[in-house]
A and B are shown apart, each in its own frame.
Chain A
Amino acid sequence: MAESVETQAAHHEDAHGHHGEMSFVSKYVFSTDHKVIAMQYLFTGMAMALIGGFMAYAFRMQLAFPGEAVPGYGIVSAANYNALVTNHGTIMIFWVAMPVLIAAFGNFLIPLMCGCDDMVFPKINRLSYQIFLLSAVVLISSFFVEGGGFGGAWTAYPPLSAKAEYSLTKLGSSIWLVAVALEFIAFLLGGINFVTTAMNSRAPGMKLYDIPIVVWMIVVASILFMVSVGPLIAGAFMLLFDQTLGTQFYDPDGAGDPLLWQHLFWFFGHPEVYVVLLPALGIVAEVITTFSRKKLFAYRTVLYTTFGTGVLSFTVWAHHQFVAGIDPRMANIFTLTTLLISVPIAELCFVYIATLFGGSIRLTTPMLWALAFIAEFLIGGVTGIFLGASGSDIYLHDTYFVLAHFHYTFYPIAIIGTFAGITYWYPKMFGRMLNETLGKIHFWGSVISFNVIFIPLFVLGIAGQHRRIFDYRNFPELALPQYQDLRILATFALLVMLAFQVVFLYNFFMSLFKGEKAGNNPWKANTLEWTVPSPPPHGNFAEMPTVYRGPYEYSTPGRDEDYWPQNVPN
Chain B
Amino acid sequence: MIEHFLPAASSYAQDIDNLFTLIFTLVGFWLVLTEAVFIYLIVKFRKKDGQKAEYYTGEEKHLKRWITVPHFLVLICDIFILVGAVNVWYNVKQQLPEADEIVRVIGQQWAWTFVHAGPDGTIDTDDDIAIVDELHVKVGTTYHFKLEARDVLHSFSVPVFRLKQDAVPGRVITGWFKPTKVGEHDVQCAEICGIGHGLMAARIFIETPEEHAAWLAGQRPIALASANTPQRVED
Contact = CB atoms under 8 A, between A and B. Distances in A.
Direct A–B contact in complex, judged by CB atoms less than 8 Å apart = yes
B89 A159 contact: no
Contacts of A153: 192
Given A259-B168, A391-B85, A474 B198 contact: yes
A371 B28 CA distance: 20
A294 B53 contact: yes
A363 B57 CA distance: 23
B131 interface: no
Nearest to A340: B78
B157 A466 contact: yes
Given A347-B71, A391-B19, A391-B89, A475 B78 contact: no
B70 interface: yes
Contact of A347 (B15, B31, B67): B67
Contact of B46 (A78, A363, A463): A363
A448 interface: no
A373 B175 CA distance: 41
A62 B25 CA distance: 35
A46 interface: no
Contact of B89 (A335, A358, A378, A379): A335
Contact of A385 (B37, B59, B67, B81): B81
Nearest to B202: A475
Contacts of A399: 190
Given A166-B194, A253-B170, A343-B71, A555 B85 contact: no
A158 B164 CA distance: 19
A72 B56 CA distance: 55
Contacts of A464: 5-6, 159-160, 186, 188
Contact of A471 (B6, B159, B198): B198
A398 B191 contact: yes
A293 B195 contact: no
A356 B41 contact: yes
Contact of A78 (B16, B188, B199): B199
A378 B165 CA distance: 30
A323 B163 CA distance: 10
Given A166-B194, A343-B74, A468-B197, A392 B38 contact: no
A17 interface: no
A157 B84 CA distance: 30
A466 B190 contact: yes
A359 B89 CA distance: 46
A325 B5 contact: no
B153 A469 contact: no
B75 interface: yes
Contact of B153 (A258, A459, A555, A562): A258
A159 B1 contact: no
Nearest to B34: A378
Interface in A380-404: 382-383, 385-386, 389-392, 394-399
A485 interface: no
A391 B190 contact: no
Interface in A317-375: 322-325, 328-329, 331-332, 335-336, 339-340, 342-343, 346-347, 349-351, 353-363, 371, 374-375
Interface string B178-222: 000000011011111111111101010000000000000000000
A295 interface: yes
B194 A353 contact: no
Given A294-B53, A464-B6, A475 B35 contact: no
Contact of B78 (A159, A331, A342, A471): A342
Contacts of A469: 188, 197-198
A554 interface: yes
Interface stretch (A176-184, A266-274, A297-305, A514-522): A297-305
Given A258-B168, A394-B16, A353 B38 contact: yes
B59 A475 contact: no
A297 B66 CA distance: 11
Contacts of A351: 58, 67
A332 B86 contact: yes
A152 interface: yes
21 contacts: A78-B195, A79-B195, A152-B192, A157-B191, A159-B169, A259-B168, A294-B54, A297-B58, A298-B67, A353-B34, A356-B45, A357-B63, A360-B47, A374-B38, A375-B38, A383-B27, A385-B23, A391-B84, A397-B190, A466-B157, A556-B55
Interface of B: 1-2, 5-6, 15-16, 19-20, 23-24, 27-28, 30-31, 34-35, 37-38, 41-42, 45-48, 51-59, 63-64, 66-67, 70-71, 74-75, 78, 81-82, 84-90, 92-94, 109, 151-153, 155, 157, 159-160, 162-171, 173, 185-186, 188-199, 201, 203, 235
Given A322-B89, A391-B84, 5 more contacts: A160-B194, A323-B166, A342-B78, A355-B58, A389-B82
Which 7 A/B pairs are nearest by Cβ-Cβ distance? A252-B170, A391-B88, A298-B58, A464-B159, A358-B54, A389-B85, A297-B58
